[in-house]
Structure 1
Amino acid sequence: MTISRRHMLALLGSVAGATAIPARVFAAFSQSDYLAQIPTETPLPPIEERLPKTPRVLNLAERGLKPGRYGGSMRMLIGGQRDIRFMPINCYARLVGYNSDLKLEADILEAYEVENDRVFTFRLREGHKWSDGSPFTADDFRYVWDDVFHEKKLAKGGPPAGLMINGKPPRFEVIDARTVRYSWDDPNPDFLADQASPSPIRLMFPAAYMKQFHMRYQTKELLAQHIARERVDDWAALHQKMSRVVRPENPNLPTLDAWRNRTAPPAERFVFERNPYYYRVDENGLQLPYIDKVMLDVSSADLIAAKTGTGESDLQVTNLDFADYTFLKNAEQRYPLKVDLWKRTQGSRMALFPNLNCKDEGWRNLFRDVRFRRAMSLAINRGEINKAVFYGLATESSNSILPDSPLFKPEYQKAWAAFDPDQANRLLDEIGLAMDDSEGMRRLPDGRLAKIIIEITGESTFETDALELIGDQLLQVGIKIYPHVAQRELLRRRVKGGDAIMSVGGGLDNGVPTADMAPKELAPTSDDQLQWSIWGLHALSGGSDGKAPDLPEAKALLDLYSEWRKAEGFDQRTDVWHKMLALFTDQVFTIGIVNATLQPVVQSSKLQNVPSKALYGFDPTSYLGVYLPDAFWYDEETA
């Protein structure tokens, strides 16, 4: 069997810090005393019967962490009930996942094999169980494949687009009760990276629980009762509601995460309780997590920084920004808090997105002219914005990757990012946008003044502060901008509908990629990309919706992404990444401002194993996920 270079056979014990150790290595496993307090219809089995035969052993000392003790409840603040979605991201239980060095390793899986990026064989841990004690087996994968992906009422288009390679789904096989296989005719090099992502394609459901909500396994009479109780329209909506993993609102849904939700919405406090069947242990045989409960208290997003600064949160990252740092740092003198700064991984903390698919023909034609995009970028004084908004601590950059990435080159960072209003004016003159001196603005070819309405969410004060400076700077080259505040979902609908001319958002989610991570953010691959959502929808839907890109450079990026997917070996993938980064930054499809900005992380002074320095972002770190929150613990002896 031939194994791809980047995915060598993940045999037992082959991944540092993730070694699968048979139970007999430990004299005895240990569990939290809290489990005795959990009300159950029947007593919990002994710890040895709740753990897999080969649990995942986290050797914390090898990672520079301290093995801990059990106990405690960790309070966190969220800006609304929907924000319980952060829990499965932070828990970060994945079939395969990234470690803190952003290298893949087996996690839920005991082992995996990859053959030429086409055949993926997953081996489950013997005796692994869901949080309700039901077995976690190959049937949970079969259920999703047969009864979800191939049930038209649940998946109208069949398997998710992320599993379709050249229009074809994989072949799925159940090898035995603990082994499943996904096979494609063509390479699928980002299959494992997707499974390690913050929100992976869900390949398994707790089948024993979910069958009661599926028409193939439940009587019409009982389904009708469930539908009425949950106040949904039909059994498909029922199944979707009861199986929702991204936002875990169903307290009865079994999970593999470290903590399970025990609170049904609506609520002001959501309590996540330790999973008695969790599959990880530390090097001393203590079943993780160390902390018994995580309590998410709902608050107004605007008040979270103030509440955090008065000691109402034991670990807080969300709804905090760098502007809060001084206040939070001063709070260390009054409350048992510790405030650190992590580096955000976005390609740009904020970026301008000219909508290349907007309905306005005049602006659409201008945005598709690279000279206009470059002129806008050159007219922005990033140094002034950095000093005024980020105290000079950020890095002035295009929307590109950070030096923390092995793919980084200074030319990507600097592409059209210098402050050069003279060159910007020359480019605008070259396009034919004449300056109307009486108005102090340029005119479009159709005679309109160069006025751009920029859609923003208004959720961050730094965006409005930065836009005020950007507005003054752009006016110097004859372009006037008008920020328009819109709720996030409305903004995205306006962009996708072509009604928004330009918008503001975060830059590249993953600013610290390796060559083995998919460069899909650089090409039109998703309808969430604000600069070309219609082109992205076309790729996302497999050509059934949206429109194919008709701009040569955008099409070239899409072709390069296809080339990356077919590349054989690390060197070829690296070469494609550099071609895409060079083209993406040179074409200025998005206008970055600064990156490597700092994110406050506030923790109780008693909380252990939280890094003082780290990378922070949605992808690839899954916010706190790669830093093992299940290994955080309270040292009551620490002041």
Structure 2
Amino acid sequence: MKPRERVAGAGLEISRRQLLQAGGATILVTAVAACSGGDDGEPRGGMSAPSDQPLEAPMLSERVTAGELPPLAERLPERPLVVEPVEQIGVYGGQWRTAILGAADSAWLDRTIGYDQLMRWDMDFTVPQPNVAESVEATDDGRRFTVTLRAGMKWSDGAPLTADDVVFWYNDVLLNESYPTIVVPTELTTADGTPAVVSKADQYTVVMEFAAPNGLLEQYLASGGSFVAGPRHYLEQFHPTYNPDVAQLAADEGHADWVALFDAKADVWGNPERPVLTPWVVVQPLGDGQRVMAERNPYYWKVDPDGRQLPYIDRVVFDIVNDEQTILLRATNGELDMHMRHINNLTNKPVLAQNRETGGYDFHDLVRSTMNQMMISLNLTHKDPALREVFQSKDFRIGLSHAIDREELIAAVYQDQGEPWQIAPRKEAEFYDEELAKQYTEYDPDEANRRLDRAGYSQRDGDGFRLRPDGERIRFSVEVSNHEPAWIDSLELIKVYWAEVGIDMRTESEDRSLLLTRKEANEHDAAVWFGSAGLKDAMLDPRCYFPSNNIFSDYAIPWANWFVGKAEVSEEPPEPVKEQMSLYRDLIESIDRDRQTEIFREILRIAKEEFYAIGTVLPVGDYCIVKNTFKNVPSSLIETGTQYPSPGPTNPEQYFIADS
């Protein structure tokens, strides 16, 4: 299938040849207008720039005049990708001010200035669209994909992007067994883990061949962090296949081996010399400093409908701060232009609302794919056989669910925002199932006690707590990451609810890294996390609906390890889980979208029957903050995990800063 060749509306193609023939801005704009017929003379995407507007940023024009850069026509590909502005044609200049929480918070860089994959999601998170790849075409059996790159497209240092860059990154890096840092991503394997064969057909054409159909490839290629390419002309000097002296080079630069050297040189955010394909290029790297700064890429390969090279904004500045309160203070002072990370929660909404006028910003709606504020996962594969038996009782889990007063949770912790919800897709999702979302959410202590008795735990000790079959009190800890205070507050209430029905629960607040380590070793009694993947991403990341993710399927990490083929801490799951796993492999290998949907609904039906984990509250009322002078940000945005790394799919390259 050949994807649409436009972004954010009815875009058009502008060829490099048109630029060369135009000989000036006025002629080019006239040519573009002629090519965009059928719009009755109305400007596309809002206000149209006057014909005398420059086609490139002044800071780049100065470099062209000084002989430091070739002319724009020589920097763009033959067919630049045209981006329709959300509201209007923008103006060049200014800087986007934002912040990250410590040097480890690089995900915000990925989401804002790092999202340019082979394909990209449209703003509505419905259809993968062309991006770095001009097209991706599949054979009828879904086993062979032809990826066509944009002829004449260049890296940020002016070197051409070719099929060699894609093949190098795949064969020499991802498949390289002596380079353990990264592995072949999911999108380039079959359901059983067999990697694709990636080869060069010609200068701008790559062929990906799979041993079995790959029905989700286009969606995966549009996801954040997915496979793209590596600048071979730069990175090969740090690779032993191309440089026999790389060990000495590594030693000279203070690295233990070539792998450490390659890691450092390939680091997009840590090495300003590494060529990129994104709108802005890092000039102050992420490290020990107090900020990260990125400036416009002079070879960026996208233009607006008037043929003006993007991005509009000159630079993006990420101040590195140590705590969320500092970010909040900067927001209320009007010192953040567009931000949707760490501070945009319900707790902070009142103070942010009070300061909107003085801070010169407003709220934009944010629809998260998160379908649960807090997912409670009892460890169904617990190392203690007695606790495993307790946790694997569905009646036990149902009893605990009925014991939770979710309405009180919503009022006390979530600012009266939300509704009782289980582990289920959101109402906005095509997979929404009201029965799955609402089962066992009614606060009913009598039913909770009845279920717990029926599970076989009617005997109690002198303090009123229920006993295990071995006579010991049912006592367990719920481990919680201390980065999310609302979870800690919620668990304190739930501890009381569960004590009222005879369950002795403790909370263990700990650093996120420790929690992940303990889960990986299957050492946790229970854990909480957000319930993720509640929109279209449910099918791409079904971790909450069956144990498919060996890091975040907290209710059964060993079963997930079995599914992904990891031998350590692995355990064969029961039949209903294996049925879901088999169905998901069928889904991946289907190239029929309707069939994929049908299969996933069956996976959700089994999840509803098995009731692996306990949900609490559906998130609502989410938002981001945008300065009044910061333009072309949609009034409503979607946010997921890596599948749709917002705000990246809203095309930040078309954001601009107005004078007032």
With normalisation by structure 1, the TM-score equals: 0.92
Distance 1:570 1:351, change over 3 A: same
Tell me, yes or no, if the aligned pair for 2:539 and 2:600 is still in contact at 8 Å: no
Q: What does residue range 87-486 of structure 1 map to in structure 2 within 5 Å?
A: 87-91=109-113, 92-102=115-125, 103-115=127-139, 116-155=141-180, 159-160=184-185, 162-165=187-190, 166-200=192-226, 202-220=227-245, 223-229=247-253, 231-245=254-268, 248-264=269-285, 265-303=287-325, 304-320=327-343, 321-436=345-460, 438-486=462-510
One-letter amino acid of the counterpart of residue 609, structure 1: N
Partners of 1:171 and 1:592 lie apart in 2 by 41
Q: How much has 1:423 moved relative to structure 2? A: 2.0
The question of whether the paired residues in 2 share the 8 Å contact of 1:366 and 1:372 is answered with yes
Looking at structure 2, the residues matched to 521 and 105 of structure 1 have their Cα atoms a distance apart, in angstroms, of 27
Which sits farther off after the overlay, 627-636 or 594-603?
594-603
Gaps (5+ residues) in structure 1? 1-7
Structure 1 stretch displaced more, 363-372 or 266-275 = 363-372
Tell me the matched-pair count: 620
Letter in 2 for 1:139: D
Structure 2 counterpart of 1:616? 639
Check conservation: 1:362, 1:445, Cα contact below 8 A.
yes
Indicate conservation of the 8 Å contact 2:488/2:509, yes or no: no
Of 511-520 and 569-578, more deviation after overlay is shown by 511-520
Deviation of 1:16 (Å): 4.6
Q: Structure 1's 297 and 568: CA in aligned 2 closer, same or farther, altered over 3 A?
A: closer
CA pair 14-210 structure 1, distance change in 2 beyond 3 A:
closer
Give the Å deviation of 1:618. Answer: 2.0
Q: Deviations over 1:173-215 (max 9, x none)?
A: 2110000011113111122222211221x34111011011101
CA contact (8 A) 1:416 1:586 kept: no
Q: How many angstroms apart in 2 are the aligned matches of 1:548 and 1:19?
A: 53
SS of residue in 1 equivalent to 2:535: coil
Q: Is the 8 A contact 2:11 2:305 kept in 1?
A: no
Larger CA deviation: 559-568 vs 576-585: 559-568
Structure 1 counterpart SS, 2:622: strand
1:523-545 Cα offsets, whole Å, 9 max, x none, are 322211222222222332x3544
**1:440 and 1:454 mapped to 2: Cα distance?**
20
CA deviation profile, 1:25-76 (whole Å, cap 9, x unmatched): 564471111225679996111111111110100122xxx5211111101110
Summarize deviations over 1:232-252 as a string: whole Å, max 9, x none: 32101221232234xx21111
What RMSD over aligned residues (CA atoms) do the two structures have, in Å?
2.4
Structure 2, unmatched stretches of 5+, are 20-26, 29-53
The structural deviation recorded for 1:446 is 2.0
Query: Within 2, Cα distance between the matches of 1:42 and 1:630?
Result: 26
Aligned-partner SS, 2:105: helix
SS at match of 2:527: strand
Match of 1:4 in 2: none
CA deviation after TM superposition for structure 1 residue 87, in Å: 1.7
Instruction: Call closer, same or farther: CA 1:600–1:518 in 2, change over 3 Å.
Output: closer
Q: TM-score, normalised by structure 2?
A: 0.89
**More displaced, 552-561 or 431-440?**
431-440
Distance 1:190 1:518 in 2: 11
Rate the CA distance shift 1:160–1:628 in 2: closer, same or farther, 3 A: closer
Aligned mate of 1:68, from 90, 105, 111: 90
Residue 46 (structure 1) aligns with: 71
Q: SS where residue 335 of structure 2 aligns?
A: coil
AA at the equivalent of 1:539: F
Distance 1:260 1:84, change over 3 A: farther
State the distance in 1 between where 2:61 and 2:358 align.
36
CA positional deviation for 1:506: 0.9
- Are the aligned partners of 1:405 and 1:513 in contact in 2 as well (CA < 8 Å)? yes
Deviations 1:570-617 (A, max 9, x none): 221111111111222332212111123333311211001112222223
Match of 2:549 among 522, 526, 530: 526
Partner of 1:81, secondary structure, is coil
Indicate if the aligned counterparts of 2:423 and 2:615 stay in contact, CA closer than 8 A.
yes
Shift of 1:520: 5.6
* CA positional deviation for 1:473: 1.4
Distance 1:547 1:259, change over 3 A: same
CA contact (8 A) 2:187 2:216 kept: no
8 Å Cα contact 1:71/1:290 also seen in 2: yes
TM-fit CA distance, 1:435: 4.3
How far residue 331 of structure 1 moved from its aligned partner, in angstroms, is 0.9
Task: Please give the per-residue CA displacement for 1:610-635, whole angstroms capped at 9, x wherever unaligned.
Answer: 12222223244312112111111111
